[in-house]
Amino acid sequence: MSKIDPLDTLFSKFIRLRAMSRTHGCERCGAWKEDYRQLQCAHLISRWHKSIRWDEDAALGLCGGCHMWIDHEAEEKSELLKSKLGQEKFDALSHRARQIGKIDKNAITIYYKAKLEAEELKKYWD
């Protein structure tokens, strides 16, 4: 059994908290959730593309049913992502997915720790 990368855990938490602040639940069907832990981090472009594995544009917070469904519907997955991002950002993300190079996981970790702190503080501002 492989060990879960701490950055994957951090990224997943950010995506799910972001979904709660956007829709208070699933970003596909709109199902309301009590807690971000009731959502899943769905990569809408395969996370095997290391260049965008931790790109917030490539993931949404979905309920388990929507996540399972969307993972088996490639065309619908692409359309959902286009509807959320718009064509221009979708094209840019698709281009970044094809990039090869070294990933600075330390910088990405710092970025998401700061984003999480801001996201968690939002609940006190609203």
pLDDT for 7-24, tens place per residue? 999 999 999 999 999 999
- Looking at the structure of the chain, the number of domains it has is 1
Token output for 36: 């971000």
What's the pLDDT at 124? 53
Asked, for residue 88, whether it belongs to a domain, the answer is yes
Which of the residues in the chain have pLDDT under 70? Answer: 1-2, 121-126
Asked, for residue 36, whether it belongs to a domain, the answer is yes
Asked, for residue 124, whether it belongs to a domain, the answer is no
What's the pLDDT at 125? 54
What's the pLDDT at 119? 76
Asked, for residue 123, whether it belongs to a domain, the answer is no
Calculate ∠ Cα 64-70-76, nearest 5°. 150
Asked, for residue 125, whether it belongs to a domain, the answer is no
Asked, for residue 67, whether it belongs to a domain, the answer is yes
What's the pLDDT at 108? 97
Sort 83 into a burial class: Cβ within 10 Å, 0-12 / 13-18 / 19+: exposed
The span from the CA of 44 to the CA of 125, in Å, is 30
Give the range of the structural domain holding residue 50, as residue numbers without chain letter: 6-118
Report how far Cα 1 is from the mean position of its chain's Cα atoms.
24
Short-list 41, 45, 49, CA closest to 8: 41
